[in-house]
Structure 1
């Protein structure tokens, strides 16, 4: 009898396992559904963030086209000073207020600011492009700190490193869709409404992003009550500056920001002179810069769809830093040989400088940015918010100021476009070396440890 009882229990064992297996399958499906919903909402929120940002970008850039590259050191010098002021303010706010309150206050503040700028742009000819440019460039940089960069800090807070490798390129693709929609809206509206009303449209899309992010943040806190994220981070308001010197990864990120941004800023300065020479009026300049943004973001979206996600998942985010740096080297060597000449692209003749600007930015937004944000999931939370934002604002704007000042100085010494391109190629080689160091920095947490 005892033997038959044992046999009976053994015969029933597979049936008892079914509910366990069913529960496991159900749990996996539930996790996949939750990840899909979170990544979908995140992509849609980033769509609205980037739509808002890319409506105001050509509005800002037409101011630099009105004055030329000689005023860019002034613009970026003021921007750098403002970043030094606001970076510790950002650190103080992050240390003391929850993620949800930071989102609500910062996004609402900038939506109201956009509406406040409308009268100034309606009177741009009377105010002056130089004077308005100083203010709006500085405001746009603070916008980047509190809106665009904060978005990715929240994403790195919500998604683990393992999940980030799967979904960050998809979220970035949502942003690229917004970065295409923004210029398309601008192209449609600028000749009809003018420049100033575009700021109202940008404020409305920013408000839509805020609604989605608040919902996503609340859902994440309810679904994972044991995880950090809803509460304030705490710590020192200078933590971002301190960590720059204590963490090798942040030092590499700072150097990569300086070297990588140097290439893009060089192209921006040269294109500003081109725009001043060839376009008259703020509507024409806004349309020109808007077309550059549209081409840039289309390239970025194509990279997201065809190469970036495969590269990050298959080989890791480090290669997402190295490949764009190599592309920059090739582009700058090409510009060194072509100079002010044009190249044929899809049967259309385009200035080589415009091609360089579109391609360098397309790779920066379509590949480098998702790779950088994936790497930031492998550092502590305070580093993700404070250190990351210090690198992506104060260090970035110092690079803008340094590069535009260097371009002005080299031009006074008689350097032409070929000499500037050769110097830029040397900087791009340094960026390639730093990319290798950053992608495999020894202080990054392992994938397994971060996923846990």
Structure 2
């Protein structure tokens, strides 16, 4: 039996299909991301609180809707409806971009920023919820970094496609290309869901309350730690994003220059993330466990913030180019988040119940994330208006990163995480028992 199980794992095509699906998911997103970010660079960090408040409100409105879908419908329908909704939204923006001059860049920018942010968070969060559903914890530590690497390849191809095609076909048709990429990803995910749902109840509705994700945030220690880590860890990334937007507004005049600048940042970030997933991340997850892969990125953030605190707006000469320290901080924080923190944290979600994987994880990845964005950007805007320097703002981030390192270790060792060797088998048994009870009740 053991050799048969080992052979089936070696011939399992699900990791490769998952990596390919994530490639198309992030290609779709990164095709449109530079367009969104250059609009932010046009207005600077003072407008970011408004943008993020609008995104946060949208998240609060969509969270109960997502909870209803997960509670009442099978996984396949949730995938189809969610991804189809975002494909339709991309197509709906095409005439808006064709009428950009009449609508106004600022008005369109606010709407597209909200849409792009919601698109990213829900599409990616649902992808990883599915991955946590079809892989057990031990297998996740082996393959999640490789699946994430497929996504990073898409995150490299996306900006490259944008840079190439925007000159040839303009902005509006890029949204059609993005929609096509997301449609291909949906097809692959449906195939994975069908294959891995044959022998389990994973394809059935999860049930429970629409607001279960909010409730579990208070009742489950692991989810509380993940929410705090999201607030602190992503707060550092949001701080870098806000400071870079001020840099872009001050130093880059044209929309084309800002788009190229942000595309280069995306490319550098994703190359760093890919390198980490090919080397250090998988080694840490397989050989040393999840704790180090959760803590190390927070320590890197700490070092980058100390560097900015001491250097401010200074530039480092790299490969003959003057690279702003702020840009290096943004690339480093995001590269380690995508290349190490995400595969590690998503592997932890394999050790919690399905309801937590979908509803709790989605609430943390969307509403909590954007609530942190609102708080961080509002605080930065206030500090900038008070005349506080970049170095002083970075000093505050040093304290946040120090606390985040402790919270990351706490999350990875949370007492309510199921043991790796039994978590998936016990869950299947529990689902079978619940199914028998429900069947008995109906009869």
Larger-Rg structure: 1
TM-score between both structures, scaled by the size of structure 1 = 0.91
2:259 pairs with 263, 286, 289, which one? 286
Deviation at 1:158, TM superposition (A): 0.3
CA distance 1:24–1:153, change in 2 (3 Å): closer
C-alpha distance in 1 between matches for 2:396 and 2:211? 34
1:370 aligned residue: 343
C-alpha distance in 1 between matches for 2:42 and 2:101? 11
Contact 2:233 2:298 (8 Å CA) reproduced = yes
1:379 pairs with 339, 342, 352, which one? 352
Deviation at 1:104, TM superposition (A): 1.1
CA distance 1:229–1:415, change in 2 (3 Å): same
2:11 aligned residue: 33
Deviation at 1:254, TM superposition (A): 0.5
2:439 aligned residue: none
1:18 aligned residue: none
C-alpha distance in 1 between matches for 2:140 and 2:303? 30
1:192 aligned residue: 168
C-alpha distance in 2 between matches for 1:74 and 1:126? 22
Secondary structure of the equivalent of 1:443?
coil
Contact 1:115 1:199 (8 Å CA) reproduced = yes
The answer to whether residue 99 in structure 2 is matched with residue 126 in structure 1 is no
C-alpha distance in 2 between matches for 1:261 and 1:128? 31
C-alpha distance in 1 between matches for 2:18 and 2:238? 29
Q: How many residues align?
A: 425
Question: Mean alpha-carbon deviation: is it higher for 121-130 or for 205-214?
Answer: 121-130
1:116 aligned residue: 92
2:177 aligned residue: 201
1:325 aligned residue: 298
Can you list the C-alpha shifts for 1:403-447, whole angstroms capped at 9, x where unaligned?
000001111211011111111111111111111111111111111
C-alpha distance in 1 between matches for 2:284 and 2:363? 27
Contact 1:322 1:436 (8 Å CA) reproduced = yes
Question: Mean alpha-carbon deviation: is it higher for 339-348 or for 289-298?
Answer: 339-348
Contact 2:277 2:339 (8 Å CA) reproduced = yes
Secondary structure of the equivalent of 1:444?
coil
Deviation at 1:283, TM superposition (A): 3.2
2:237 aligned residue: 264
C-alpha distance in 1 between matches for 2:240 and 2:339? 18
Deviation at 1:26, TM superposition (A): 4.3
CA distance 1:189–1:45, change in 2 (3 Å): same
1:141 aligned residue: 117
Can you list the C-alpha shifts for 1:214-265, whole angstroms capped at 9, x where unaligned?
111111123xx2x221111111000000000000111100100010111111
C-alpha distance in 2 between matches for 1:253 and 1:332? 22
TM-score between both structures, scaled by the size of structure 2 = 0.93
The answer to whether residue 364 in structure 2 is matched with residue 391 in structure 1 is yes
1:62 pairs with 38, 46, 50, which one? 38
Contact 1:195 1:282 (8 Å CA) reproduced = no
Secondary structure of the equivalent of 1:309?
helix
C-alpha distance in 2 between matches for 1:430 and 1:25? 45
Question: Mean alpha-carbon deviation: is it higher for 431-440 or for 239-248?
Answer: 431-440
1:339 pairs with 292, 299, 312, which one? 312
CA distance 1:265–1:149, change in 2 (3 Å): same
- Structure 2 gap ranges (5+): 426-443
Pairwise mapping of residues 80-229 of structure 1 onto structure 2 (< 5 A)? 80-222=56-198, 225=199, 227-229=200-202
Secondary structure of the equivalent of 1:233?
coil
Deviation at 1:347, TM superposition (A): 3.6
C-alpha distance in 2 between matches for 1:196 and 1:318? 44
Deviation at 1:187, TM superposition (A): 1.6
Contact 1:107 1:146 (8 Å CA) reproduced = no
Give RMSD over aligned pairs.
1.4
- Structure 1 gap ranges (5+): 1-22
CA distance 1:252–1:26, change in 2 (3 Å): closer
2:218 aligned residue: 245
Question: Mean alpha-carbon deviation: is it higher for 299-308 or for 430-439?
Answer: 430-439
Contact 1:164 1:374 (8 Å CA) reproduced = yes
Can you list the C-alpha shifts for 1:30-62, whole angstroms capped at 9, x where unaligned?
33212xx00000000000001001111112111
C-alpha distance in 2 between matches for 1:129 and 1:433? 42
